[in-house]
Structure 1
């Protein structure tokens, strides 16, 4: 990116030009007809906030505390597998950029660098856990995360089964030979590689092979008992499940439809957020993801009851275009936009967003 982009949309365009088409489809696509994928973005566009005036705010404080972690912004990097698909430095580049900007990075179970190597970069780290078939590996991952001073465990509860991601199926998507799930005991097992035969998505086959298909509340309780770290459940949309999450020891919930990559027809995370916020009534922290592309989106999420947001695809777009500097660019754009949005709405900080009046515009009148 020779000229610094001014918007996440410009970073997205640069990433599409830089990545092989099948890799672009993998990071940017959704499941089935991609209805939920589109709904994530459309839901933000239908939200309007009424600014307050004469508040005297000139320099808003953007800092937040998320899942027991101090952050310079009410944002964290979402868990995403295989960062090395987008840049050779992978998670190490993202960790360096997140450290520079002072926001947490959620390291995925299927990260393409070892937890130990990512932790060596420094900066606040969260660990995302998939419910593996091998419970011994789960225990090993939890112990490693604790020993490396990860700040929380984020259990993804809406996968498996793996969503039907038709772009990957049509492309017969395969991982390159040098990209592996570096934290698994046998990272090459069940993984079809580039150049090997087969029509289905190799990522889908690998995920279904290593993950247990029957995650339950009993298993959530088991994770709670087997880690001393704060527990976050990612993938909750129904308020009833959010209440159960609190009852089973969750410290935070991520209101999420997996970026439109699981059940196609689910509501947008930000659309589900108000009912979830009402149901938990402050008994746990709330994060939301899916479709965040502007600093104003962050403010909208806060106004609807979230404590913060997770950033997914935009971070990978930045990584694909310019490695560590590209991720820094994405986070800097969002920081500047969010700070400006706070000032323009008269908010001294993230907490003040709760007092903003929210209205919803018709679908044919995006704001």
Structure 2
């Protein structure tokens, strides 16, 4: 008799149930609704507003979830499939499962050293992490925490071209496997939850560690490049750092390395994103890096076609988690049209609205090659640090594996629209 292999779904269940027999429950809820509820209780008002808030009245966030609810998975039985292969490759990066952790800035609102903790959790789960350009730890430090697990770097295109080159060069040097250019945030959307609190983390020095650790940025801010003599710490600088500390836990420590805290903040606000960013500028990136390039924030088929014609290595269908344009099209609704426009070969990833392994299954069946998980991994971070990130990622992968088992899908390449039905009405 041959014993069927134990996939990640049954393995995760076994751990939880065995601990349950000893009276121990998971420190991180395995269902999305309770995960969100408990994380909210852990976060400050400013942290919750930034992480969970969306643009305008939140219609796009609701659309993202409604889009998944319009699809039904159709289980298949007696198929004889006992083993699943969740492995795949996107843009040259091998994945143990079709899941990456999405970049989310200003994580120090939740926990000090957030990026390092997320990296440790991602590495423990064997899931790549896309470092945020608005991270709270320098990319080099976060890269060390990833160990041998692959990671990518998200780029916001600055108004200063040498800064773009510096950030890309640093990402290459510390081992990033791809550059993800976010193109839907050339300016911040209208975010009432943040606005009602008057809370922009970057204005308080949170989420700008990629900049304050960058020699070109320090030059722009009037500080000496890295390696130069540090200017004296003034009373004004100390007061600024203390005010950051009082306003947001972790802010003080996130800015200790910045010799000119207030000037650094002002410089960041001047240069961080480029409202004039266009296809011509984007085309120059191919000659500026040898890394694969993915474009994040595509929702229109014509933009997808143009990106493919420009030679990018992948498209990420995304509405920024509903944080940029209110009442925008759901990412999942945009996916089918984009896949039809560009054909089956180009790499397409999806984010915005992903909460569960069943969501990942639906997205893959509709044409995505992999998915990015955003808010849920930050909720895990809030509840249990690095181990919370690990648990959230492993739970999503476990449910994906079990869903594949119960539909007879032996590999992620076997997922297609035949395993789905459109909901009536």
What TM-score, normalized by structure 2, do the two folds share? 0.79
Partner of 2:144: 120
Structure 2 gap ranges (5+): 1-24, 222-239, 248-264
Counterpart of 2:274 in 1: which secondary structure? coil
Counterpart of 1:212 in 2: which secondary structure? coil
CA distance in 2 between partners of 1:76 and 1:322 (Å):
19
Partner of 1:144: 170
Give the drift of 1:45: 1.0
Partner of 2:157: 131
Give the drift of 1:195: 7.0
CA distance in 2 between partners of 1:84 and 1:4 (Å):
20
Give the drift of 1:124: 0.8
Given that 2:292 and 2:313 are in contact with CA atoms closer than 8 Å, whether structure 1 keeps it comes out as: yes
Report the structure number with the largest CA radius of gyration. Answer: 2
Equivalent residue for 2:185, pick from 146, 159, 168: 159
Given that 1:175 and 1:193 are in contact with CA atoms closer than 8 Å, whether structure 2 keeps it comes out as: no
Equivalent residue for 1:293, pick from 343, 347, 355: 355
160-169 or 351-360: bigger deviation = 351-360
CA distance in 2 between partners of 1:216 and 1:178 (Å):
28
Structure 1 gap ranges (5+): 197-202
CA distance in 2 between partners of 1:20 and 1:275 (Å):
39
CA distance in 1 between partners of 2:200 and 2:189 (Å):
16
CA distance in 2 between partners of 1:105 and 1:149 (Å):
12
Cα deviation, 1:283-322, whole Å, max 9, x if unaligned, reads 4100001111111100000010000100000011100111
Given that 2:308 and 2:346 are in contact with CA atoms closer than 8 Å, whether structure 1 keeps it comes out as: yes
Cα deviation, 1:234-258, whole Å, max 9, x if unaligned, reads 0001111101001111110000111
Equivalent residue for 1:83, pick from 95, 100, 107: 107
Partner of 1:57: 81
CA distance in 2 between partners of 1:331 and 1:234 (Å):
21
Give the drift of 1:356: 2.8
How many equivalent residue pairs? 356
What TM-score, normalized by structure 1, do the two folds share? 0.91
CA distance in 2 between partners of 1:346 and 1:2 (Å):
29
Give the drift of 1:178: 6.9
Given that 1:11 and 1:330 are in contact with CA atoms closer than 8 Å, whether structure 2 keeps it comes out as: no
Counterpart of 2:277 in 1: which secondary structure? coil
Give the drift of 1:362: 4.3
Equivalent residue for 2:411, pick from 330, 337, 349: 349
CA distance in 2 between partners of 1:38 and 1:179 (Å):
28
Partner of 1:272: 334
Give the drift of 1:349: 1.4
For the pair 1:247 / 2:301, whether they are aligned, the reply is: no
Distance 1:195 1:86, change over 3 A: closer
Cα deviation, 1:194-223, whole Å, max 9, x if unaligned, reads 778xxxxxx9x9657521111111111011
Higher helix share: 2
Given that 2:317 and 2:348 are in contact with CA atoms closer than 8 Å, whether structure 1 keeps it comes out as: yes
Partner of 1:229: 291
CA distance in 2 between partners of 1:116 and 1:194 (Å):
24
Distance 1:43 1:355, change over 3 A: closer
CA distance in 1 between partners of 2:186 and 2:417 (Å):
38
Partner of 1:199: none
Counterpart of 1:120 in 2: which secondary structure? helix
Distance 1:275 1:207, change over 3 A: farther
For the pair 1:104 / 2:128, whether they are aligned, the reply is: yes
CA distance in 1 between partners of 2:287 and 2:310 (Å):
10
